[in-house]
Each structure stands twice: as C-alpha cells, then as structure tokens.
Amino acid sequence: MAKAIPVADDVWIKQTPTSDSLTISVGGQWVVARIAGLFAHLQEISSEVDRPVTFDMSEVEVLDTAGAWLIYRTAKQFRGNGIEVQIIGANDDQAMMLQQAADHDVPTEIEPIPNYSLRGVIGDVGAGVIGAAQGAVRVLNFFGMILLAVGRAIVNPKRLRLPATIHQIEQIGIQALPLVGLISFLIGVVIAYQAATVLGDMNAEFLTVDMVSFVILRELGILLAAIMIVGRSGSSFTAQIGAMVMHEEVDAMRSLALDPIEILVVPRFIALVILMPIITFYADIMAMIGAMMVTWANLGISPEAFIERAHEILTGWDVSVGIIKAPVFGMIIALIGCYEGLRVSGSAESVGRQTTKSVVESIFMILLLDAFFAVFFTTIGI
Amino acid sequence: MNQHKDMPQTAPGGDDAEIAISVRGLTMGFGDQTVLDALDIDVRKGELLGIVGGSGTGKSVLMRTIIGLNRPWAGSIKVLGQDLGKLDFHERHRIERRWGVLFQDGALFTSLTTAQNVQVPLREQIKGMPQVLMDEIASFKLSLVGLAPDAGSKYPSELSGGMRKRAGIARALALDPEILFLDEPTAGLDPIGAAAFDQLISQLHRVLGLTVVMVTHDLDSLHTVCDRIAVLADKKVKLIGTMDDMLKSDHEWTHEYFHGPRSRAAGIGV
Ligand SMILES: Nc1ncnc2c1ncn2[C@@H]1O[C@H](COP(=O)(O)OP(=O)(O)OP(=O)(O)O)[C@@H](O)[C@H]1O
Ligand SMILES: [Mg+2]
C-alpha cells in the first residue's frame, strides 16, 4: 500500500510501509524552488513515523544543496526521535552533496546580539540623561575644534579650502534662492491676508503694515530661512559626510594626515555663517513683497504708501534683529549637520537615522535659541 | 544537470545546448569612452571560465553588462538560451534567479546581519519558506563558504574584507544558481584562505554542475581551477583557451602575464 504524494508536478514523495520498516522514496526535482512544499510534507510524515526508515533517492533527477540539506535534516530529525534511518540510491554526486550538508551542519547565529542591560528602566533613564549630557559635551567639544580650525584658517589663509568653500556657497546659497524666495513670498501673502482679516474685523486695518513688517523682519524671515536651510543643507551635510564615513573615506583622510574637520566641516561652516544673513535678508524682502501685494490688492495700500509707512515705524534694530541671529543659526546648522554625519557607523540605516537626528536637533536648537534671543532683546529694550 | 522543467528551451539542439552565455558584438562605454568594442565571448555550460586583463580593461563592466546592470550600446547577450534584450519583466526575473553574483566589494546589505543577508533571496524569491528552514540553509551556506558560526549575527561593517567576500558568495549561492559570476573572489584573502576558496569554488562547480565566470588575478586560481581563460585587452576578448594556450600565446600582455615572476612562483610555465 504505497501512497505517493505529488508535492508539485515534478517532484514527489512516496511512502511504502512494511510491518517493521518504512521506505520513503523521493524523486524528481529536489531543488530550492520546491523546498517549502517538500518541507511541509516531510514534517507531516515525521509526526507519524514509528519504525525504521529507508530513504530511497534513486529517482531524484536534480538535487541541489537546499534539497540535499532537506534530506539530511529530515534524516537527522528522525534519528533525534530515536528512529533508525538509512539513505540509499544516491549517486556519487548526490552522496557528496549529502556529505557536504553533514559537514556544514553548524548552527549559526542569525539575529544581531541584543545589548542586554540589567540596570532596568531606572538605569536606562539615567543612562539616557548621562548620554544626553555626554552628547552635549561632545557637540561643544566639536564646536571648539571647528572654531580652532577656523582660527587656523584665518591666521594662515592657505589652510582655508577656498574652492570647497565657494562650492558650498554655491550649493547652499545660490541654488536655495528660488525655493526660499517662493516660500517666503507665499508666507508673506498668507500672513498679510490673515492680519488684514483679523484687524479689519476690529476696524484697524491701517495697522496691517505695522504688524506684518514687525513679524516678518524680527521673526518670520529668519525662522523660515533657517528651517529651509536645515531641510535643504543641514540634512545633506549629514548624508554626504555620513556616506563618506561609511565608505571609509574619512578614515582615509585621517590616514593621509588630512584633517576631516578642516576639509569637510570648515568650508560648510564658513559658507553658512556668510550665507545665512544674506538668505535671511532675501527672505525678509520676498515676504515683505508678498505682504505688500496683499495690502495693495485687498486694502488699496499702494506699494509706495506701504514702504513709507514701514519706513516711519521701523527702527534700524527691527531690521537687524533678524539678521543678527542669522550667523548664529548658520553655525548651529553646520555644527549639528556635520557632527551627526561624522557619527555615522557602518550601515546605510545609520545614515538615515543620523540625518533625521540632525534635522530634528537643528530645528529644536534654532527654536530654543530664538526664544532666548526674544527674551534677551526684549530685556535690553530693542 | 541543473535543468529546471519550467525553462523554455528556445533553441532545441544546436549549439545553444552547450553554451551557457553567448555574447555577440557587445559595445559598451561611458560618456565618450568606449570600454568594450564589438566584443564576442561564449561561455560553455558547466565550465569554469577565468577572465583576466589589466586593471581598467573592463572586466567588471563586462560582468555587470551580462547580468543587466549596465545597458549595452549595441550587441546581443544570450544567457541559458534566452536573449536578454528581448525578455519581458517576468522572464527577466525568472532568469535572474538562475544566476548568482559576487560583486567586487561584496555589496552586502549593511543594515542586515550576515545570515540575514543570505536569507534575503530565500525570503524574497521562494514563497512560503518556513523560518526554521531558512535559518538552517543560511547556516549551511555560511559554513559552506567557511565562515565561523559567530559571524552570522554580525553586521557587514563588523566583518573583515575576506569575510565579507565569503558572505557575498554565500548570498550568491542562496538560490542554488546555475551560473555563478564572481568578481575577484580571492582578492583580499590570505593564501591559505584563497586556496581553500579555490577548492570550494571548484567543488561547487563540480558537484552542482555550476557554470562559473570568474574575474580573477589570482594565478593560483587560474592554474588550479579554471577550465579556460579569457584575456580582455584592447576592448575585446583577445584570447580564450586553456592554460596551455595562454602559455603558448605571443600576445604581449598575455605573455608577460603568464611568464612573469609571479607565474613562475605559482608554478606556471615551468
Ligand atoms: N559607472 C562608470 N562610469 C564611468 N566609467 C566607468 C564606470 N564603471 C567603469 N568605468 C570605466 O570603465 C573602465 C573599465 O572599468 P572596470 O571596472 O570594468 O575595470 P576592471 O577591468 O574591472 O578593472 P579592475 O581589475 O581594476 O577591477 C574603466 O576605465 C573605468 O573608468
Ligand atoms: Mg573590476
């Protein structure tokens, strides 16, 4: 009473039981593409087997390493259950493959080894705080190294990588202009529109110009510019430098006695410190133009009248407060972008992780510092 | 011997039955630099072909073009009887499963462990493969290429260069391919490791009936395991034949290559 189980149309398993033994004949294509079905059937058989087994492989047409492994591991499983197993009918090549499977039956770790910690939650929180503090110290340390390198470049201009710096200025600045201009313009439109509506309800639309120019010049222009540069340039600093770390390019620089800070970080740092005030000024102007369009169209305030009014109410400080903050924010973006890039380790995943971190941290630091600036400027009365 | 049933036999009989890869008039380059110019090469089924040539002669480019990573400017490439230029998406996919590739620098997925790298083709290409079996096969393949069990759970960045190569081969072998492409498999291995590797490749080749195309500069490999050798020079296959043919050749580069001090050290041509 032999029953043949066709697993697929080109591979089969047949059981021939006698009173004191079971012959499992297998045949056809014992290849990796069929392996999942074969495995399932053999598992089924193995749960019922209760007597010595003979595997007859004489009708196997094609055997690859996966097929050989399956036969070997099934035999092993039977033996583990106390059942005697004999394999017959394998030709020389097949016998060799089975031997290979036996020789290489070495269970391997598959998953990464997790970092177990016995300190528990409290320990983790503590470690988190200490980690954050250490991180802050490392960033400050890195900031110091950058300042030293910038200092060296100022004392000895030959150390300044002028072409690299100019390249960065072009990448960060010139190419950002269309985007920054468009978004600033649109935000100017939105702000002026909202201001005109709210103030109009209170019959105070003549204050629209005052309000939008204060908001744009003191806060909005610089924040817009900074956040867009974080997204455009801070993230790309991290990704570029991170990819270089991953391909051991940074190690190669160090081994050639080149200073990665001087080559990679300083040009980006200088470029951003120079560019941020300019980009901010540009964002201010574009947002003001946007606002001007709205007041002209909705309130009938002509551009000349807009400019005249702005001139009357704005002091020099109103215009410069935003611009004064700009180089500081530029430093933050370059600092964090490059720092997180250099902290990338081996994997592509870590490039992504560090890039996210760099963007989040930069925006957080910028908003935090902006709050400090607001308090500071109010306190000293400008 | 590794003939799957679902393989459409486009040209029954004839030469195609004996030829695994047939390249005709292949022209390929970058920008205005031509790297390969009207190149012809045939790889026979079940042979182990070594490709040699100076640095930058286009060995890697040839390999990448055959497996479809570079689009050729002109010429035809037939693999296992099918013209790669004329395949639709599914046919293309099916043929890609029948070869395995080891890239020059390993090209492991950096965010997966070594063992998980080997499981990628199994998981993606074989439906319903149970995890136990996948773990076992990954272990088997890693051991087959001579990696210690503790290497399985390491990330590629934690492996040595030679270990990455081995892991790359293990991944290339995951689906038991019929053709194996190797780009400098023994570069970066110690001589004992390289010899063991040669033995491994030669054994896989013999036991699995694999067709192997191997770019190599390792004279020992060329000497001990390759059935035939192709010399790439002047944008073409200048010469193809056995080691004896190489030694008899009066092509300048070939002569220098196979009669240089390193060849003598490898016991070739003495
Ligand atoms: N993606 C690419 N873009 C432009 N040029 C390329 C590209 N890949 C290769 N080349 C050029 O093609 C030529 C052949 O390169 P290839 O990598 O095939 O050399 P090779 O023979 O494998 O050398 P090696 O022994 O050093 O690995 C070289 O001149 C190289 O500069
Ligand atoms: Mg190469």
Q: Is the pLDDT of residue A362 over 90?
A: yes
Confidence of residue A233 (pLDDT cuts 50, 70, 90): very high
Query: What CA–CA distance (Å, rounded) separates B213 from B235?
Result: 18
Question: What 3 state SS string does chain A have?
Answer: CCEEEEEECCEEEEEEECCCCEEEEEEEEECHHHHHHHHHHHHHHHHHCCCCEEEEEEEEEEECHHHHHHHHHHHHHHHHCCCCEEEECCCHHHHHHHHHHHHCCCCCCCCCCCCCCCCHHHHHHHHHHHHHHHHHHHHHHHHHHHHHHHHHHHHCHHHCCHHHHHHHHHHHCHHHHHHHHHHHHHHHHHHHHHHHHHHHHCCCHHHHHHHHHHHHHHHHHHHHHHHHHHHHHHHHHHHHHHHHHHCCHHHHHHHCCCCHHHHHHHHHHHHHHHHHHHHHHHHHHHHHHHHHHHHHHHHCCCHHHHHHHHHHHCCHHHHHHHHHHHHHHHHHHHHHHHHHHHCCCCCHHHHHHHHHHHHHHHHHHHHHHHHHHHHHHHHCCC
Question: Which protein residue's CA is at the shortest distance from atom 17 of ligand 1?
Answer: B60
Share of chain A above pLDDT 90, in %: 34
Contact B126 A347 (CB under 8 A): no
Q: Which of residues 252-311 of A touch B (CB under 8 A)?
A: none
Q: Taking a C-beta distance cutoff of 8 angstroms, is the pair A283, A329 a contact? A: no
Contact B157 A346 (CB under 8 A): yes
Contact B128 A36 (CB under 8 A): yes
Name the token pair of A108: 């391997």
CA dihedral A350, A356, A360, A365 (to 10 degrees): 50
Test mutation, B207, B208, B210, chain A, max A CBs within 10 A: B207
Residue A230 vs residue B90, higher pLDDT: A230
Which residues are CB-neighbours of A202 under 8 A, at least 6 positions away? none
Q: List, in order of start, the domains of chain A with CATH numbers.
A: 3-103 (3.30.750.24), 146-379 (no CATH)
Contact A32 B153 (CB under 8 A): no
Average pLDDT over chain A reads 87
Name the token pair of B153: 């759970």
Q: In what order do the strands lie in the sheet with A3-8?
A: A3-8, A11-17, A22-30, A53-63, A85-88
Q: How far is A169 from chain B (nearest CA, A)?
A: 29
For residue B66, the SS3 value is: helix
Q: Which of residues 107-146 of B touch A (CB under 8 A)?
A: 109-111, 113, 115-116, 119, 122, 126-130, 133, 135-144
Query: What CA–CA distance (Å, rounded) separates A260 from A243?
Result: 14
Question: Which protein residue's CA is at the shortest distance from atom 1 of ligand 1?
Answer: B30
Average pLDDT over every residue of A91-115: 83
pLDDT tens across the length of chain B (270 residues): 444 434 443 433 444 558 899 999 999 999 889 999 989 999 999 899 999 988 889 998 999 899 888 888 999 999 988 888 888 888 888 888 888 888 877 788 887 899 999 998 888 888 888 888 999 999 999 988 888 888 889 988 888 877 888 888 889 888 888 899 998 887 777 788 778 778 878 877 877 778 999 998 888 778 888 899 999 988 989 889 888 888 888 888 888 888 877 777 777 765
Q: What is the DSSP letter of B130?
A: -
B55 lines ligand 1 (CB under 6 A): yes
Query: What CA–CA distance (Å, rounded) separates B28 from A166?
Result: 36
Q: How far is A162 from chain B (nearest CA, A)?
A: 30
> Is the minimum CB–CB distance between B4 and chain A shorter than 8 Å?
yes
Q: Is the pLDDT of residue A295 over 70?
A: yes
CA angle, A225 as apex, A221 and A229 as ends, to 5°?
175
Considering every ligand atom, which ligand is closest to the CA of B52?
1
Confidence of residue A337 (pLDDT cuts 50, 70, 90): very high
Test mutation, B4, B133, B153, chain A, max A CBs within 10 A: B133
- C-alpha neighbours within 13 Å on the C-beta side of residue B249: 22
pLDDT at B4: 45
Pairing of strands B19-30, B33-44: antiparallel
Query: What CA–CA distance (Å, rounded) separates B257 from A218?
Result: 72
Q: How many residues does chain A have?
A: 382
The pTM of this model reads 0.70
| Minimum CA–CA partner of A111 in chain B | B153
Helix (H) or strand (E) holding B102: strand B99-102
Query: What CA–CA distance (Å, rounded) separates A85 from A68?
Result: 15
Chain segment A133-191, per-residue pLDDT in tens: 888 888 888 899 899 888 888 888 888 888 889 999 998 888 899 999 999 999 999 99
- In chain A, which residues have their Cβ closer than 8 Å to the Cβ of B156? 346-347
Q: How far is A271 from chain B (nearest CA, A)?
A: 33
Amino acid at B176: D
Contact B153 A10 (CB under 8 A): no
Q: How far is A379 from chain B (nearest CA, A)?
A: 51
Contact A109 B141 (CB under 8 A): no
> Is the minimum CB–CB distance between A121 and chain B shorter than 8 Å?
no
Average pLDDT over every residue of A345-362: 90
Contact A347 B155 (CB under 8 A): yes
Query: What CA–CA distance (Å, rounded) separates B136 from A71?
Result: 13
As for the ipTM of the complex, it is 0.76
pLDDT at A4: 62
End-to-end CA distance of chain A: 100
pLDDT at B13: 40
CA B75, B77, B81, B84 torsion-angle sign = negative
pLDDT at B6: 42
Q: Taking a C-beta distance cutoff of 8 angstroms, is the pair A337, A238 a contact? A: yes
Considering every ligand atom, which ligand is closest to the CA of B57?
1
Q: In what order do the strands lie in the sheet with B82-83?
A: B33-44, B19-30, B74-79, B82-83
pLDDT at A232: 93
Considering every ligand atom, which ligand is closest to the CA of B183?
2
Q: Taking a C-beta distance cutoff of 8 angstroms, is the pair B208, B2 a contact? A: yes
CA A269, A272, A274, A276 torsion-angle sign = negative
Integer-rounded Cα radius of gyration of chain B: 19
Q: How far is A107 from chain B (nearest CA, A)?
A: 6
> Is the minimum CB–CB distance between A35 and chain B shorter than 8 Å?
yes
Q: Is the pLDDT of residue A13 over 90?
A: no
- In chain A, which residues have their Cβ closer than 8 Å to the Cβ of B3? 62
The rounded Å distance from CA B138 to ligand 1 centre is: 32
Closest CA to A335 of A277, A251, A276: A276
Query: What CA–CA distance (Å, rounded) separates A225 from B124?
Result: 44
Facing A10 at nearest CB: one of B1, B5, B152: B5
pLDDT at B11: 39
B89 lines ligand 1 (CB under 6 A): no
Integer-rounded Cα radius of gyration of chain A: 35
Share of chain A above pLDDT 70, in %: 96
Q: Write down the number of H helices and E strands in chain B.
A: 10, 10
- C-alpha neighbours within 13 Å on the C-beta side of residue A172: 33
Chain segment A23-67, per-residue pLDDT in tens: 888 888 888 888 888 898 888 888 888 888 888 988 888 888 889
Q: Which of residues 68-97 of B touch A (CB under 8 A)?
A: none
B30 lines ligand 1 (CB under 6 A): yes
Test mutation, B140, B141, B163, B202, chain A, max A CBs within 10 A: B140
Closest CA to B41 of B14, B76, B10, B85: B76
Amino acid at B23: V
The rounded Å distance from CA B193 to ligand 2 centre is: 21
| Burial degree of A243 (CB within 10 A; 0-12, 13-18, 19+) | middle
Test mutation, B153, B159, B160, B176, chain A, max A CBs within 10 A: B176
